[in-house]
Amino acid sequence: MRFPVKRSENAFICLKNRDGPNENCKMTFVCTNGAKSETVKEGVNMTFISNLINGISLGSVYAIIALGYTMVYGIAKMLNFAHGDVIMVGAYISYCASSYLGFSPVLSVLLAMVVCTVLGVAIEAFAYRPLRRSGSLAVLITAIGVSYLLQNVALLIWGSNPKAFKSLVTFGSISLFDGKLIITAESIVTVIACIIIMVGLSLFTKKSKMGKAMRAVSEDKDAAELMGINVNVTISLTFAIGSALAAIAGVLLCSAYPTLQPTTGSMPGIKAFTAAVFGGIGSIPGAMIGGILLGIIEIFSKSYISTALSDAIVFAVLIVVLLVKPTGLLGKKITEKV
């Protein structure tokens, strides 16, 4: 004897055949609509969380680069558009140290920081210092020239073929929710490094003697020089710190996105400058907030709207923010007395 199949909204209840009077009837529940909806909802939530983590990770890289931009502009009042190419140089130095010389990840990063620090000081001394009293247009053109110079030197040394950058983060990823959500080791290291750098820079500029000198030079170079502050050394130190941060950012960027070529730092450098303006250029917390927001917007744009339009969306958001608040999210309006 076959019993009919009973339907409900979220499940089918099936009663199997009964051959004799003494055999118990068996029931089997097969979930359909409810289970599928729960699975879909859970998948959407995991995708959202994964995109959010990826956005924070990418935004942390932008924030580290933007900290270099915001320090140089905040203290020297100049835009160093060669900063993105210093990122590329740092990544190449780390790549050569680990791949050719067999250095450990820590030594590779330290060597990249040293080389980029020297490079940053040299760029400031030979390219920007002679133009300190010149107009902003001359500095801007010089920065673009230094950027192309670094790209072409890298092209001559390492060639145009992309290098497969091996991640310097050695521990494994973290798996959550039975493997449905995986957080890469690169993401964890990048976010932690960003927080440590932001806190360290904030304490350095507020508490240390050299940090106070930087703030004095930022307010008025001539008055700071009259008070005995060596303006040249202070600005050189600013470039040194920004370039060292660029080396760290280059290593973290290529560890997460393992392709290295002479133009690697161009677009991240532009986006990091956008992040610095977004958060309020000259503000260290603003650079971090702007970078993370920019990374989240970019990842969500790629995931939910269009990969091809993600960059356009990022810059469109920047335009809207500047129309509403021209100084950026945390920037302060400065009134100049004439």
pLDDT tens for 268-325 read 988 998 888 888 887 888 889 999 999 999 999 998 888 888 888 888 888 888 888 8
For residue 31, the model assigns a pLDDT of 45
- pLDDT over 50 (residue 6): no
Q: How far apart are CA 53 and CA 66, in angstroms?
A: 19
What pLDDT does 147 receive?
A: 92
Helix (H) or strand (E) holding 272: helix 266-279
Residue 200: alpha-carbon gap to chain centroid:
17
The structure tokens listed for 335 are 């009134």
Q: What pLDDT is stored for residue 29 in this prediction?
A: 41
Identify the band that residue 335 occupies on the pLDDT scale cut at 50, 70 and 90. low
Chain segment 94-133, per-residue pLDDT in tens: 999 999 998 998 999 999 999 999 999 999 999 988 888 7
Between 9 and 125, where is the model more confident?
Answer: 125
Averaged pLDDT for residues 232-260:
92
Q: Give residue-wise pLDDT tens across range 187-228.
A: 899 999 999 999 999 899 888 899 889 888 888 888 888 888
User: Percentage of the chain with pLDDT > 70?
Assistant: 85
pLDDT > 90 in the chain, percent: 37
Looking at every residue in the chain, the average pLDDT score rounds to 83
pTM (2 decimals)?
0.82
Q: Please determine, for residue 155, whether its predicted confidence score (pLDDT) is greater than 50.
A: yes
Please name each of the domains of the chain with its CATH number: 1-36 (no CATH), 52-324 (1.10.3470)
